[in-house]
Structure formats: C-alpha cells, structure tokens
Amino acid sequence: MIFLEGSGKEFAGPPLSLEQLDADPLRQFFTWYQEAARTEAGDPTAIALATSSREGRMRSRMVLLKAIDERGFLFFTNYRSRKGKDLEENPQAAFCCFWPVSLRQVCVRGAVEKVSTEESNAYFQSRPVLSRLSAWASPQSEPIPAERAFLENRLREMQERFAGKEVPLPPFWGGYRLVPDEIEFWQGRSNRLHDRFLYARIGDGQWKRTRLAP
C-alpha cells in the first residue's frame, strides 16, 4: 500500500449552522455559488457528474453547470454521449462541486429529465460559434482515429457547411435538468469536525433539514 500525501492544509473554515441556511436549498446553492464566483480561482460551475447504466455500472466526469431554475440544475451535452446513453437507460444522477478557497462542497442527487428544445436552443445560441460548430463536429464518446486531424477536419467541414448561416441546434444535442431529492451542504472545519447539513425533499416545495456527522 502506498499512502498519498495531500497538501496538509487544515480545514479551518467558518462555522455553518442551521439558522444560516435558506429554507430552499436551490436558493442556498445559488448564494454559495455567487460567493464562489467572487473568490474561487477555478471555474465555480465545474461539477463531478455521476451517471449509471441500466446494469448499475457507474461513470463520472467533470462537466459545467450552466443554469439553475426553481426545479433544478441544468447542464448540456450530446445526447449520444456516454452520459446521454446512461441517462436514457437510468434517468438518475448525482453531482458534487468543491470550492477549495471557501472550503465548501455541495452534493446533489435526483432524477434527470431533458429540458425543452426551446431551452436547449436558447443556451446553444449563446455559445461561441466555434463551440456550436464543435458540437456538430464531434461524435462524442465514439471511437475515432488516433490522429487529431480527424477532429480538425470535421470542424472545417462544419465551418464550410454552415458558412454564412446561423449554426442550428443539432438534433442530438441539448440540456438535462437534475431535479434534486437530496442536497447536502458541507463546510470544512478544523480537526475534521466539518459542518454538514442535508436537505431531503418531503413534498412539493418542502424540505427537511438534518445535520449530519462529519
């Protein structure tokens, strides 16, 4: 066995109490996100998203959270990707985000649904043109030739195909909304005695809040 050495940094963040938390976990998440957007060096929208096949084989990857609404958390991808195929077979997912400067993490799990074509298109058209063309060019998660030239050639083909035109939303690309049934807020504290609070959905718009042992 080889023990791995971390930074040795002490988790000495501020206290977190039940009274400090918003009754709505989505509003609480947005409050923490806004603070992270001001203080974190990395991208505060980065999340580790876990999905599972029908047989329960798990996969995780980093994706970017792109929106929050009153129903849940939105991210966008190729529907034919590995995550897309997992979600077609098993429309449940979980994600975790970690904000190291503030020593905070949020863990979320719940059901996943596709967003409307209108919502997907609104986000897609907000992306830079080359990002939209790349969505058309990349057969995401599929085996391709080892040479990067394959992708670069595909991108050039898409540039020629849509030259002088608006790049439309691909029929195989769009958004998902993770509708949470559990959201946990974690604040790092000294001596590994972290503050953890779990929101569990108990009804329409109703949440039960519980402190968890670290």
Q: Note if 148 is an active site residue.
A: no
Q: What whole-number distance in Å separates Cα of residue 161 and Cα of residue 59?
A: 34
List, as residue ranges, the binding site: 61-66, 76-77, 82-83, 105, 140-141, 186, 196
Catalytic residue among 154, 192, 201, 209: 192
* Stretch (H or E) spanning 12: none
Task: With beta carbons less than 8 A apart as the criterion, state whether 6 and 199 touch.
Answer: no
Task: With beta carbons less than 8 A apart as the criterion, state whether 96 and 184 touch.
Answer: no
Q: What whole-number distance in Å separates Cα of residue 126 and Cα of residue 116?
A: 16
* Stretch (H or E) spanning 85: helix 82-89
Q: What whole-number distance in Å separates Cα of residue 63 and Cα of residue 47?
A: 6
Residues 6+ apart with CB under 8 A from 190: 10, 11, 12
Q: Identify any residues that bridge with 67 across adjacent strands, giving them in sequence order.
A: 74
List, as residue ranges, the binding site for FMN: 61-66, 76-77, 82-83, 105, 140-141, 186, 196
Which residue numbers are catalytic?
192
